[in-house]
Structure 1
């Protein structure tokens, strides 16, 4: 249907409103769901590209760790054992971020396969 309200989630899942609230807040923080205002109510929506957006958010978090590790190298002084470990960590995570970013871009269209046909069927039906 494109989205559900908190009351609809409570009814369908058979869980408490507090559980829905907590789960939605967690999923929203992870970029897995978004809220749409509908008058006084909110509808929770999971978009087609949610997994792509979630991966990109994860990469951004990873990039912050890389920047922090590199700042640690600067603070500790290059060549110290701790700085070497931090630089290795930064290079490792930087490599993973780059590889994951490329993979996500290449695979992004997979999230939409079949949706064009589905949308057309709904318009004709």
Structure 2
């Protein structure tokens, strides 16, 4: 179970890092073609979401790997769940149901990490 939680958290972190870096590094005009919500959002908002995703990638991996406040791993997973709820709502509003379902799947993965790290495979126990 511990190994599964590590693998899932690392995969989620890699996805968050890629998604966040895309939002931070690409010009907004390049992002506008992918989904409608980026065209209707300010550049600052899109960049802020990207930074939050990069921080989530760090929070899902570094605290446990460095053994510095490893409780931040499940806390970050819960924060990621909240971000995915926002993503589901936003994509559903624009009729992008496949992206909303992707957010739901990522929410479920983060819920598994949060449950596992707060519960049976806690770093404190």
Q: Is the shorter-chain TM-score for this pair beyond 0.5, marking a shared fold?
A: no
Coarse TM-score class (shorter-chain normalised): 0.3 to 0.5
Relative contact order: is structure 1 or structure 2 higher (C-alpha 8 Å, sep ≥ 6)? Answer: 2
TM-score, length of structure 1 as denominator length: 0.34
Larger Rg: 1
TM-score, length of structure 2 as denominator length: 0.34
